[in-house]
Structure formats: C-alpha cells, structure tokens
Chains A and B, each alone.
Chain A
Amino acid sequence: MAIRRIEVREKVMAKNDEIAAEVRGALAEAGVPCFNLVSSPGSGKTALLERTLQELGDELRIAVVTGDVQTENDAERLARHTDRLVQAVVTNGACHMDARQIRTALEQVDLAQTDLLIVENVGNLVCPASWDLGETEKIVIFSVTEGEDKPLKYPRMFERSTRAVLSKIDLLPYLPFDTDRAVEFARQVNPELEFFFTSSISGEGLEDWYRFLRDAARHGDGVPA
C-alpha cells in the first residue's frame, strides 16, 4: 500500500505564540504593561498581590488574572482587596496557563481603564516557562523557605524571567537561608536578573516593588532591567 508523505514544518507552539502576539499587541496599543508572576506553589504570589492591591489599588488601576489548577480561592482572596474584577482561570489539571486563556480573560477587562495587568500563573517552576502569554515580562518569585539552589534546579524559569522577587524575608532570622548565595546562583543562570527582597507580612522591601510597578504603569510598558 502506498504511503504519502505530507510535509508540515509547523511549530507545536505556533498557535499559542500567535495568540500571545495578539495579546501583546492589544496591551501595547492600550499602553498596559503585563507581568506574569511565576513560582513554585506556596512562594507567596497571592500574598504579595493582596498587599499590592491593598496599597496600590487606589493609585493604579490594576487588573488581575489568576490561574489555578483547581479552585478559585486565589481570585476570591484577591477580590477582597480590589473593586475591580479579578479573573479566575481554572486550568482543570493543566500545569500552566496559555495565551488563549489570557485572551479570553481580557475580553472582560476594559484596557482603556487599566494601568497594569498582573497574571498570577499556576504554581509550577517548570511548565509556565515554556508558554508565552503575551506578557511584558515574566517575574519569578521564590521564598527563603525554599532552597538557595532553586535557580540552579529550575534554570529555564530564571533564564526566561527578567526580575526575581525573594519573598518571606521576615523569616530570615529563623532559617539557615543564605541570601547572597541564592542571588549568586540566580545570576549564574541569568546575569541580568534584577532582584526585589520582600516580606508581604512586615512590608519590608515592598516600596521598591511598588516603585517598579508605578514606573512601569507610567511608561505604559516594561521598564528596561
């Protein structure tokens, strides 16, 4: 029986990348920077966003899209701190968010009335690195309760991110965590990585984070690292 060969040459991610480009275009046109927060589960993404919405919510119009494998718990937590709609994306088992979900979520967001879009990705330091959501920048969060060698264990995520937030620094007195070593490991993977050192409980370091968000919103795009 004859076998016919069809040449394809199609990138598997082509569909996602196409939609991501569309999202990026819409955000650029509206002058809305978008930060995709990526981390392992429990690093403090939601806590950082809760405090950010609480303290910057009157000043900046921040839209949030949260991704979770199951439940809308994060979106419900964040909704308590803002009058704006917090969009929950339940991935139903998928380990990452994709550009299609962001495009759908943005249908409910009036970009003309938005200064900043923050995506809280699914807690996973592997898969979200591969998916372009149309964001301005990926920002990786890791906490002092994790190992200093997280950047070496998950290099792709640290390579793909432009900034890192080292969270829960109020716990440093109780832990053998070596901050300098963590930063050194991260910069071995990505020498350009800019750091924030924060505690969402004590508020330490948050002013730098807020300054960055304010500047980004003012410029209508990511601020060069």
Chain B
Amino acid sequence: MHELSLAMDVCRITEENVGRSSLGLVREVGVEVGDRSGVEFGTFEFCLDSLLSAPPFRDARACIQRTPGDELRVTYVEVEDGDPED
C-alpha cells in the first residue's frame, strides 16, 4: 500500500508537469529511489508500471534508478510532441 500511494504521487507530479490532457503522450518518467528511502524497490516498480500502463496513460514506462540517500524523487518526464499545441 505504501508503495502504491508513492507511485500514485509520482503520477500526480507527472500530471502537474504535463497537464491532464497530455498524460496519454507521456513516454517515460524518470524516478530516483534512495536506498534508505524505505521504499521496497520491486513493489514500487510494479505499482508504478501498473499505473503508467493504464488510462489516462498509454505507453508510458518508468525509468527507476537506485541512488544513495533517503530521497524519492521524480527527475524528469518525457512527452511525445504529438500535437504542436501541446
């Protein structure tokens, strides 16, 4: 549950950065997971992949890197420039 709520927060941050109408265009979300962040890596990865593969996302994937320290952060979002207006 803890990992799922953190994964949902990653989706919230993604939405804040690209806008809800562009979530279907997200291709990759970069996340750093500190080795002392208290996050179980495998469970978190599974939760995030599950969320990113379901609507309103389409073909998004997570690129998760382990880092030293205790922080969990979203580092970048890659979006397809499908619509010039996006």
Contacts and interface: CB of A to CB of B under 8 A. Distances in A.
B47 interface: no
A2 B80 CA distance: 6
Contacts of A127: 1-2, 38
Nearest to B7: A12
B81 A4 contact: yes
B38 A130 contact: yes
Interface string B21-43: 00000010011000001110000
A9 B30 CA distance: 9
Interface stretch (A41-49, A89-97, A188-196): A89-97
Nearest to B37: A130
Contact of B76 (A1, A5, A13, A130): A5
A156 interface: yes
Contacts of B9: 12-13, 15
B65 interface: no
Interface of A: 1-13, 15, 93-96, 126-127, 129-130, 156
Interface of B: 1-2, 5-6, 9-10, 13, 17-18, 27, 30-31, 37-39, 71-82
B13 A12 contact: yes
Contacts of B71: 11, 13
Given A94-B1, A95-B2, A8 B17 contact: yes
B76 A95 contact: no
Contacts of B27: 3
5 A-B pairs closest in CB distance = A127-B2, A95-B1, A2-B81, A130-B38, A12-B72
